[in-house]
Amino acid sequence: MFQKDLLKGKTVLITGGGTGLGKSMGLRFAELGANLVLTSRRLPVLEEAAHEMEKKGAKVLVKASDIRKYDEIENVLTEADKVFGGINILINNAAGNFISPTELLSPNAFNSVVGIVLNGSFHATLAAGRRWINRQSGGRVLSIVTPYAWTGSAYVVPSACAKAGVLAMTRSLAVEWGKYKIRLNAIAPGPFPTEQAWENLVPEGFEEKWKKRIPLARTGRHEELANLATFLVSDFADYINGDCITIDGGEWVSGAGEFNMLTEMTPEDWGKMAERFSKNKK
């Protein structure tokens, strides 16, 4: 799908790049010639992912940080300046999330998720954006949100509030920083199996129910998301700014259309409806 050196000469910072979708994006970017900066709290996890990316030919810098703390992400960017002369692309991917009846949450539980997802994405975007503006280099930000950033969702209120905020930041800065040639976009994935998301968020038997409400009747494949991310951060998407692309097999629109439940009708049911129409006509 892509030319082999599509991302040659680009350095990509991925927050939460040691696991799940962050790691899958990193591996794809490495295959296409990018160098990488990976950050999250657990250094050994980052080192293991970096090793796999290096095998694909990438130069990889790993540095532990808690993205909730601005100084720590600032240090990551300073290190990237020294090693690579700066980054060209930022992927806001780090997240925390759990399912819970909201009335059982403590204020600290809310702060914990919002701190990682919303404050963390803002911290990384601010640290990268200030550098790009000073250097007049331009830059690209891609944030991983979810379709419930605009629909909301029961039982994940802290995450829904935080992802809505990240989407608002994306659209706001796409306008404000357009003059600096900084593009900001988002991807809203439906369910893509990853170890931690499934551990924290998927009760037993839930995946089968999920598949029933997804028109394409399956969960996402990591390479599908990685390819979309690659396109959006590449030069080929240089006129896409301030948008959010959904990749969910049609899940969220299937819950939205008034008559979508009619997918359950059998050919016989449709026959009965046809009879009813013709009777009414007579």
- For the bound state, the minimum distance from the C-beta of residue 108 to ligand HXC, rounded and expressed in Å, comes to 3
Note whether 280 and 243 are within 8 A (CB).
no
What does DSSP say about strands 89-92 and 11-15: parallel, antiparallel, or unpaired?
parallel
The token pair that represents 147 in the structure block = 């379709």
What does DSSP say about strands 182-189 and 11-15: parallel, antiparallel, or unpaired?
unpaired
Neighbours of 178 (CB within 10 A): 13
- For the bound state, the minimum distance from the C-beta of residue 61 to ligand NAP, rounded and expressed in Å, comes to 15
Residues binding ligand NAP: number (CB under 6 A): 29
Our finding on whether 247 is near ligand HXC (CB under 6 A) is no
Whether the CA torsion 74, 79, 81, 84 is positive or negative: it is negative
The token pair that represents 214 in the structure block = 């997804």
Q: How far are the Cα atoms of 10, 30, 74, 137 from residue 60, in angstroms, in the given order? A: 12, 9, 18, 21
Q: If we measure between CA atoms, which residue out of 20, 73, 30 comes closest to residue 51?
A: 30
Residue whose CB is less far from ligand NAP, 75 or 194: 194
x-or-dash string of contact with ligand NAP, 146-185, rule CB under 6 A: x---------------------------------------
**Where do the DSSP E strands lie in 93-226?**
139-144, 182-189
x-or-dash string of contact with ligand NAP, 108-147, rule CB under 6 A: --------x---x-----------------------x-x-
Q: If we measure between CA atoms, which residue out of 93, 104, 106 comes closest to residue 17?
A: 93
Residue whose CB is less far from ligand NAP, 195 or 275: 195
Residue 136, SS3? coil
Any residues with CB less than 8 A from the CB of 208 and at least 6 apart, and which?
none
Our finding on whether 108 is near ligand HXC (CB under 6 A) is yes
**Of residues 84-103, which lie at the interface with ligand NAP (CB under 6 A)?**
93-96
Separation CA 263–CA 215 (nearest Å)? 9
In degrees and rounded to multiples of 5, residue 161 shows phi and psi of -65, -45
- For the bound state, the minimum distance from the C-beta of residue 85 to ligand HXC, rounded and expressed in Å, comes to 31
Residue whose CB is less far from ligand NAP, 94 or 174: 94
- Among this protein's residues, is 148 annotated catalytic? yes
Residue 100 interacts with, from ligand HXC, ligand NAP, none (CB under 5-8 Å by kind): ligand HXC
x-or-dash string of contact with ligand HXC, 193-232, rule CB under 6 A: ---xx--xx-------------------------------
Our finding on whether 186 is near ligand NAP (CB under 6 A) is no
Residue whose Cβ sits closest to ligand HXC: 96
Among residues 148, 155, 180, 239, the one annotated as catalytic is 148
Catalytic residue ranges: 148
Q: Footprint of ligand NAP on this chain (CB under 6 A)? A: 15-16, 18-22, 40-42, 45, 65-68, 93-96, 116, 120, 144, 146, 189, 191-192, 194, 196-197
